[in-house]
């Protein structure tokens, strides 16, 4: 077999897309959002996905996370081909093996921080022991906020709680969709430093969609999408290089 989900560096891949195409709608009105996308995300790496508006970033994220099925091609999480799963199995896989972080946090306002963090475990039918909750909250710097509700937290603390919720099941990959889009630049820096540390110290795999070259510069690698294809890949990106490359792709 050509590729067993290993990168050139020999690391196994947490997620791999092979020849993924995705059309929204059918017939004459169909919009092609992804075209023959082939890319892997090695374990223990932080990747930013960028591209002009309409490039296919959200569609990519939905397909890679098993929220949407590609029209063609295959998505593998670890060794699992998502197309071989039933809808119920895919739902379980998303709960147990994938973490999600969103721009607007998506915390439940009536629950405490501890209860929000515990939610993915409870949905997966697993025990949410106090030790695990405390350890996970401590990992994001929220050990002393477990009894608070989201309304009593700053934006940065809310995003930390959301990251703890994404981490608590020990997922193979965390997908983050504009995780710093609602934060001021200083708070954003702290959140990005946290995500980077989860990768560098914790071996976590993170894939983050962002419009912001500064945010992208915290990643090990930037994947630039344009018109549903990989237009470029930048390793060890700086904000300046990312911005210059984006400018050449057109406005964003
Ligand atoms: N549900 C849908 N029905 C029809 N077309 C869609 C749908 N979702 C996305 N598209 C189209 O697919 C293409 C890619 O959209 P997508 O949202 O993935 O891009 P994006 O890079 O995330 O854009 P943005 O940065 O503006 O959020 C666009 O042309 C978009 O209009």
Cα 33 to averaged position of ligand 1 atoms, centre (Å): 6
pTM for the full predicted model: 0.94
What is the pLDDT averaged over residues 43-59? 96
> Distance between CA 246 and CA 251 in Å, rounded?
7
Q: Are 106 and 179 in contact (CB under 8 A)?
A: no
User: Residue with the nearest Cα to atom 27 of ligand 1?
Assistant: 53
Residue-wise pLDDT for 154-187, tens only, equals 999 999 999 999 999 999 999 999 999 999 999 9
Cα 202 to averaged position of ligand 1 atoms, centre (Å): 33
- Which atom number of ligand 1 is nearest to the Cα of residue 55? 21
Q: What is the model's pLDDT at position 6?
A: 54
What is the pLDDT averaged over residues 50-68? 95
Cα 70 to averaged position of ligand 1 atoms, centre (Å): 14
Pick from 149, 119, 151: which is nearest to 133 by CA?
119
Q: Supply the mean pLDDT for the chain.
A: 94
Cα 27 to averaged position of ligand 1 atoms, centre (Å): 17
Probe target for ligand 1 pocket from 21, 29, 59, 223, with the most ligand atoms within 8 Å of CB = 59
Residue ranges covered by each domain of the chain: 13-105+172-249
Confidence of residue 9 (pLDDT cuts 50, 70, 90): low
Q: What is the DSSP letter of 11?
A: P
Q: What is the model's pLDDT at position 28?
A: 87
> Distance between CA 232 and CA 222 in Å, rounded?
8
Q: What is the model's pLDDT at position 251?
A: 56
Q: Which two tokens stand for residue 49?
A: 């996905």
CATH class of residue range 13-105+172-249: alpha beta
Residues 6+ apart with CB under 8 A from 224: 50, 51, 230, 231, 232, 233, 234, 245, 246, 249
> Distance between CA 22 and CA 13 in Å, rounded?
22
- Check pocket membership of 55 for ligand 1, CB cut-off 6 A: yes
Q: What is the model's pLDDT at position 239?
A: 97
When comparing pLDDT for 79 and 58, which is higher? 58
Residue-wise pLDDT for 95-119, tens only, equals 999 999 999 999 999 999 999 999 9
Residue-wise pLDDT for 181-234, tens only, equals 999 999 999 999 999 999 999 999 999 999 999 999 999 999 999 999 999 999
């Amino acid at each position: 077999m050509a590729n067993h989900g290993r990168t050139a560096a020999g690391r196994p891949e947490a997620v791999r897309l092979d020849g993924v195409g995705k059309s929204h709608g059918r017939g004459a009105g169909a919009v092609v959002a992804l075209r023959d996308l082939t890319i892997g995300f090695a374990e223990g790496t932080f990747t930013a996905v960028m591209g002009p508006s309409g490039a296919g970033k959200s569609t990519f994220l939905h397909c890679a996370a098993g929220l949407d099925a590609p029209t063609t091609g295959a998505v593998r999480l670890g060794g699992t081909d998502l197309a071989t799963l039933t809808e119920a199995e895919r739902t379980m896989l998303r709960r147990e093996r994938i973490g999600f972080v969103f721009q607007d946090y998506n915390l439940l306002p009536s629950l405490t921080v501890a209860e929000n963090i515990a939610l993915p475990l409870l949905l997966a039918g697993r025990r949410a022991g106090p030790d695990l909750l405390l350890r996970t909250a401590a990992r994001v710097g929220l050990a002393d906020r477990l009894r608070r509700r989201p309304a009593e937290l700053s934006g940065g603390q809310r995003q930390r709680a959301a990251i703890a919720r994404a981490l608590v099941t020990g997922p193979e990959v965390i997908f983050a969709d504009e995780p710093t889009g609602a934060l001021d630049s200083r708070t954003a820096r702290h959140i990005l430093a946290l995500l980077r540390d989860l990768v560098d110290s914790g071996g976590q795999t993170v894939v983050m969609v962002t419009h912001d070259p500064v945010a992208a510069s915290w990643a090990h690698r930037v994947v630039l999408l344009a018109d549903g294809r990989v237009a470029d890949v930048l390793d060890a990106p700086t904000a300046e290089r990312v911005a210059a490359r984006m400018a050449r792709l057109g406005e964003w």
